[in-house]
Every structure is written in C-alpha cells, then in structure tokens.
Amino acid sequence: MSMNASPEAWWLPDRRGNLEVLDSDECIELLGGRHVGRLAYCTRSGPRIVPLNYALAGNTLLFRTGYDTEAATHLVGHPVVFEVDEVDEFLEAGWSVVVSGEAQLVPAATLRLLDVPQFPQPWAAGDRSMVLQLMLSAVSGRRVLPT
C-alpha cells in the first residue's frame, strides 16, 4: 500500500474476478451436475435455509422431506428459493444458480409418470416420503472467473 492510499484501502483486494450472468440453459445444465443444494423458506419465526438432495425431471426440480418436518408445514404453496453453487476459494472463482417459485406437492400417481434418471436420495434418516417440486420457470445464475 502506498503512503498516499487512504487508510481504508488496506482491505480492498488487488484483483477482482470477472462476473458473468448465466443464461437459463447453462443454469439448468449446472443444476443437473449436482445433487445437493440449499432450500430457503420462511417460517413465523424467520427464514430458514436447509441443505437438501434434489433431482431434475424435465423442467422441474424435485426434493423430498418428511410430512412431520418444519419444512413440510412451510413449503407447499409458499414462495421458496433453492440454490446450488460451487466455490473455489483458492482461485476466488465459482458459480451460483438460484431457482425461485412456489413449492408444490407431487401426488404419488404423478411420480410414476416422471422421467427421473435418479430420484433424490436424502442423506438424513427417517421418513422422507413427501415429494415436492419447484418449477424451473424462474432460474438465474452468475459465475465469477479469475482474472
């Protein structure tokens, strides 16, 4: 830091990555390459973010939870956000894809009709038989590339 720099300048990084906005096709491709993301929803006592396994089925993101979970009471018919990302701290690079919309319950009869290469397999033990979907109608993404 030069002697002429402001005292606050010490925390500013010397380099910045290039930020690019991803189109929806690339966002969906990135979603298809992962199986775990974070689901954000609101409760009466505030927002929650939980990690969740998911799968893609056409233009729908599928995930499972239990009927007796907090999420189950706050998801169906309510706005939610689902986020998947990859971060490389060493290169100071990464990407993030966000899907927003209303979560909807998937009836058992509909599940049999879905073309799902791999159904979401929750890591947590317990009954996770409630299947929810989030349409990929509102998808956005960003990528930071190192300079």
Tell me the domains of the chain and their CATH numbers.
Answer: 16-115+128-145 (2.30.110.10)
Q: Copy the structure tokens of residue 50.
A: 């939980």
- The tens digit of pLDDT for each residue in 39-95 reads 999 999 999 999 999 988 888 899 988 888 888 889 888 999 999 999 999 888 999
Q: Which of 17, 28, 141, 26 is nearest to 89 (CA)?
A: 17
DSSP 96-119: EEEEEEEBEE--HHHHTT---SS-
Burial of 46 (0-12, 13-18, 19+ CB in 10 A): exposed
Residue 128: name the closest of 72, 58, 73, 77 by CA: 72
Q: Are 136 and 103 in contact, with CB atoms under 8 Å apart?
A: no
The structure tokens listed for 82 are 């689902």
Distance (Å, whole) CA 18 – CA 88: 14
Per-residue pLDDT, 13? 59
The predicted-structure confidence for 94-118, as pLDDT tens digits, reads as follows 999 999 999 999 877 676 666 665 6
Q: pTM of the full predicted structure?
A: 0.80
CA distance 43 to 45: 5
Q: What amino acid occupies position 26?
A: E
Average pLDDT over the chain, rounded to an integer: 84
Give the model confidence (pLDDT) of 130-146 as tens digits.
889 999 999 999 999 98
Confidence of residue 17 (pLDDT cuts 50, 70, 90): confident
pLDDT grade for 28, boundaries at 50, 70 and 90: very high
Q: Which residue in 50, 102, 62, 100 sits closest to 78, CA to CA?
A: 102
Q: Which of 52, 74, 47, 73 is nearest to 62 (CA)?
A: 52
pLDDT, tens only, 3-12 = 555 556 656 6
Q: What does residue 126 show for φ and ψ, rounded to 5 degrees?
A: 110, 175
